[in-house]
Amino acid sequence: MAYPGYGGGFGNFIGQMPGMQMQMGPPVPGTGPQVLPGGYPGHPAYLNNYSSAEDPMWTYFTAVAGQDGEVDAEELQKCLTQSGISGTYSPFSLETCRIMIAMLDRDYTGKMGFNEFKELWTALNAWKQNFITIDQNRSGTVEHHELNQAIAAMGYRLSPQTLSAIVKRYSKHGRIFFDDYVACCVKLRALTDFFRRRDHLQQGVVNFIYEDFLQGTMAI
């Protein structure tokens, strides 16, 4: 079900843009439309049932994680750079890594555990595949109308005014780079989830307490 102002997919690519052939690969074990403990539709939380010895993500993560088994923004930046997930695009900025952590920081530690890292990895791969599909000439950037199409394909239903504001925020000279594209996707998902948790009637309308609004938006 889609609600006023935001779609049922919440950034999980529930549809495709006209003419797109998405190559997403096989589904990751443990994901699906169901809601698992700590998760939400389209983005279930990963359970502690993985085998670290057989998981290549575990190598990337443990190489930079501290003794607490979590990574902060700087460690996440290093981890993602070493993993090569950005491919030929520029590595993720520290600010993008900060909002990546905020998107999944359900215990508000300012850090990311391995389960959260796995969830982020799945989302990043989906966003990267979509960006590559748009960026057909491999210029490393997409145009503003292509960003609008990508946002719509993720399930968001936004007004032209809101889309224009997003483009202005994340474009440079009318082009959107991969890092900014990912930052946009992360913030859209995080803010939508923040809003949706308070939209008890699922009507796209919420009454905020000022402190709650500040805490929720400043953390992202």
Q: What is the CATH number of the domain that holds 177?
A: 1.10.238.10
With 80 as the cut, is the pLDDT of residue 122 above it?
yes
With 60 as the cut, is the pLDDT of residue 21 above it?
no
DSSP labels, 158-206: --HHHHHHHHHHH-BTTEEEHHHHHHHHHHHHHHHHHHHTT-TTSSS--
Mean of per-residue pLDDT scores for the chain: 76
Q: Residue 1, SS3?
A: coil
157, part of any domain: yes
State the amino acid at position 88 in one-letter form.
T
With 70 as the cut, is the pLDDT of residue 33 above it?
no
pLDDT (0 to 100) of residue 157: 87
Torsional sign, CA 53, 94, 105, 178: negative
31, part of any domain: no
Percentage of the residues of the chain whose pLDDT score is greater than 70: 75
181, part of any domain: yes
- Rounded to two decimals, what is the model's pTM? 0.73
Confidence of residue 13 (pLDDT cuts 50, 70, 90): very low
26, part of any domain: no
Confidence of residue 153 (pLDDT cuts 50, 70, 90): confident
With 60 as the cut, is the pLDDT of residue 27 above it?
no
The tens digit of pLDDT for each residue in 48-75 reads: 444 455 677 888 888 888 788 899 999 9
Confidence of residue 31 (pLDDT cuts 50, 70, 90): very low
User: Who's near 158: CB < 8 A, 6+ residues apart?
Assistant: 5, 151, 152, 166
Structural domains counted in the chain: 1
pLDDT (0 to 100) of residue 54: 65
53: which 2 tokens? Answer: 């010895």
From the CB of residue 213, how many other CB atoms can be counted at a distance below 10 Å?
13
7, part of any domain: no
Average pLDDT over residues 152-168: 89
24, part of any domain: no
The domain in which residue 134 lies consists of 56-219
31-45, 87-101, 194-208: segment of lowest average pLDDT: 31-45
Percentage of the residues of the chain whose pLDDT score is greater than 90: 37
Question: Rounded CA gap, 20 and 8, in Å?
Answer: 20
139, part of any domain: yes
Question: Rounded CA gap, 174 and 70, in Å?
Answer: 37
Average pLDDT over residues 43-47: 37
Average pLDDT over residues 190-198: 90
114, part of any domain: yes
